[in-house]
Amino acid sequence: MTHDQQAKRAIAETLFNNTDAYRDIMRLPHHRSTAHPAMTNAERAAQFAPFAALTGYNDLIAESGEQLAQQSRLPFEEAHLLQYRLRQVRAQLATQPRVKLTYFEGETGESHTVLGRVTALDTAVHTVTLDAQRVFPVANLQAVTLLPTT
């Protein structure tokens, strides 16, 4: 452990383990009400039932997620064409080919199109990198068009 880590640990122990301010009440017995019987765990949990007002919200989110997942899936023919175009790009990777990529943005449910030069095509993690900075998962791609070099 480094000196800085030891110093931080000592400060944390001083701050969080110092019970001097509560010494006078720490030995007192736990209060048990004589006016109210002790609550069961079920009764205690029921106090928080109003927060269940969002019942169905998780189902709605899951349904929306499934709809987005369906939107992002390509029909067989389009998926086959996309794989063919990616193989063309891989064959020309040394020349950093110019492409137009259309990709699906899962968070917004929208498709976007960008132009750029492919600087990397990583088959291990299934990504395409444009202009050495923008990385796109192959799973999100909807179309790839090779553009003429300028």
Parent domain of 111: 74-146
Q: How many domains is the chain partitioned into structurally?
A: 1
Within a domain: 107:
yes
Query: Residue 107 sits in a domain of what CATH number?
Result: 2.30.30.100
pLDDT of 50 reads: 64
Within a domain: 18:
no
Does the pLDDT value for residue 131 go beyond 90? yes
Residue 144: count of CB within 10 angstroms of its CB? 23
What pLDDT digit, counting tens, does each position of 35-75 carry?
A: 888 888 888 887 776 665 666 777 777 777 776 666 667 88
